[in-house]
Amino acid sequence: RKEVEQDPGPFNVPEGATVAFNCTYSNSASQSFFWYRQDCRKEPKLLMSVYSSGNEDGRFTAQLNRASQYISLLIRDSKLSDSATYLCVVTTRTGGFKTIFGAGTRLFVKA
């Protein structure tokens, strides 16, 4: 089992739709969680950190469920510009720090 797993998609949604991605992680000692966005042939860019209490940034909401070991990203009112790959990132401190990226979930928002 991979340490960080994501549904690769693609998710094809119309503009204005709400879409949600989940990401599961295997190490219960994981400490920090992030969502990154990566456009085609571009570098990953930090979208948001994920806090235990959940957090919201405009149309984006991230949540963490430690008991079930998953994080989620909800995008409301999807825009064409949201089309990208969304990478789940988990940092664990076991011995030394270890940061693992998921393989990403592809989102296509269509007009």
- Name which position in 22, 60, 100, 108 contacts other proteins (CB under 8 A): 100
CA distances from 49 to 17, 61, 70 (A): 23, 10, 14
**For the window 36-55, what string marks contact with other proteins as x by the rule CB under 8 A?**
x-----xxxxx--x------
Is residue 26 at the binding interface for other proteins, with CB under 8 A as the rule?
no
Buried b (16+ CB within 10 A) or exposed e, 40-77: eeeebeebbebeeeeeeeeebbbbbeeeeebbbbebee
Q: Rule CB under 8 A: say whether 27 interacts with other proteins.
A: no
Binding status of residue 25 toward other proteins by CB under 8 A: no
Q: How far apart (Å, rounded) are the C-alpha atoms in residues 93 and 61?
A: 25
Q: How far is the CB of 101 from other proteins (least distance, A)?
A: 4
Binding site for other proteins (CB under 8 A): 4, 31-32, 34, 36, 42-46, 49, 87, 89, 91, 93, 96-104
